Each structure stands twice: as structure tokens, then as C-alpha cells.
Amino acid sequence: MERVLVIGGARALGAAVARRASTDGYDVVVGARDLSAAGVLAREIGGTAVRVDLQDEATIAAAAQRLRDGVDHVVTTGSAPHDVRATELDRDRLLTAFTAKVLGPLLVAKHFAPVLRPTGSMVLFSGVVGWRPGPGSLVKGITNGAVEYAARHLAADLAPVRVNAVSPGVVDSGAWDRLGDAKAGLLSRSAAGTFVGRHGEADDVVDAVMWLLRAGFVSGETIHVEGGARHRSA
């Protein structure tokens, strides 16, 4: 049975990936900053939990040591948005955002490279904002764009382990529930900005992730799951 570690796996898209991986027969390790939340999901799906905080390299190293008998795939879904204009940038929050999307996954590669099996893979998470510049999305855009290059260069560095990225558009994953009544408007506007006439669902993204875990001849790529939104004019 192949083992997959899902970092950020206790909530939203990470939890959806963990649930599907379990259904598909993988041995799932739910990695999250909140170990208790990871444990709840792990018990639900018959997996295990481990604390992984992308802002804390020591937790990444400890997780790799705990899983030293081998991991086939690592999926990392972490993010820490800092949605402000350039004149409002906060240095600490800027570093937190880059660590969640770029620096943290690089440190995951550092510590898990000796643990990942040669036929395995890493899947990073980018996002459509990387290809759609706009006021107030500076940090999110740059960090998501950087993930594409991280996947490409890690694929060369970790070969034959495959490294790819998934770049979702606006997806109804539960992350937008915090908007309350405004959520419906956001999803409606997102649907209008795609070629396919709808917003994304969690399963759209999970399908892409699961395909990449099995796509043995795909490496260094970014798979865009956003209905063509990056090709539409803003």
C-alpha cells in the first residue's frame, strides 16, 4: 500500500485530498499544525496524524524522522494570505506567506528527499491569482507564481521523484464559508469569469491531485484547474 502525506490535510482542500486518498486505498498520513484536528480526520479515515507546521522547520524534520520507513507521495496545501497593496506590506506577514507557499515546501523537500521512494512524487499547491495580477493580490500572486518554478526546479533536483503543482481557481472547498451571505456572490462572479460557466468544486481539484500521484511520466508541470479563468480578461 502506498503512503501519502497530506500537509494541511486537516481542513478544506487538504482534507478532501486525504479523504479521497484513503478511499482510493492509500495509507494516509494527515499532517497539520493543529495535531488534534489532524487526529480527528485521521481517525475518521483510518489513517495516522503527524504535526507539520510549514513555518517551523523542526516539525518538518521530526515528521520525516517519524516516517523514515518511507513515503510515496507528499501533497502540501499550505497558504497564509496577505492581501494588501504594496504600500501596506507587513514584513513578518510577507515572510509567513512565502514560507507557507514556497519556503516551507522547499524545506519539506530537504527533509523528505531521503524518505521519498524513487517512484514517488510531491504535489505543491499554487493558485490562479499567480496568472491574474490585480490590486491587493500582490503577495498571493507572486507566491502562487513562484510555486510553478519551485515545482519545475525541484523536479530536476529530486529526480527520479516527480514534482508537480496544482493551480486551482475559485473552489467551493469550505474556505469561503467565512464570507457568509457574500459567498454566493463570489462564486457567481467566479463562474462568470471562466470558459466553462461554473465555479470549481473540491472534487475538481482532488481529481487532478490524484491523477498526478499516478502520472508516472509527468514531472515539473503545473496543472491548472480553473475552467480557463486565467485566459479571460480581468
Interval 181-201: pLDDT, tens: 788 888 888 888 899 999 999
| Mean model confidence pLDDT for the chain | 95
* Contact predicate 28/22, CB 8 Å: yes
State how far the Cα of 42 lies from the Cα of 116, in Å rounded to an integer.
21
Enumerate the domain spans of the chain: 3-231
CA dihedral 50, 208, 183, 177 (to 10 degrees): -20
What's residue 234's pLDDT? Answer: 58
What's residue 124's pLDDT? Answer: 98
pTM: 0.95
In a 13 Å sphere around the CA of 126, the CA atoms on its Cβ side amount to 30
- In the chain, what percentage of residues exceed pLDDT 90? 87
What's residue 107's pLDDT? Answer: 98
Q: Spell out the residues 6+ positions from residue 114 whose beta carbon is closer than 8 angstroms to its own.
A: 64, 68
Amino acid at 9: G
What's residue 179's pLDDT? Answer: 73
State how far the Cα of 61 lies from the Cα of 39, in Å rounded to an integer.
19
Pairing of strands 3-7, 27-32: parallel
175, pLDDT greater than 80: no
CATH fold of 3-231 reads Rossmann fold (3.40.50)
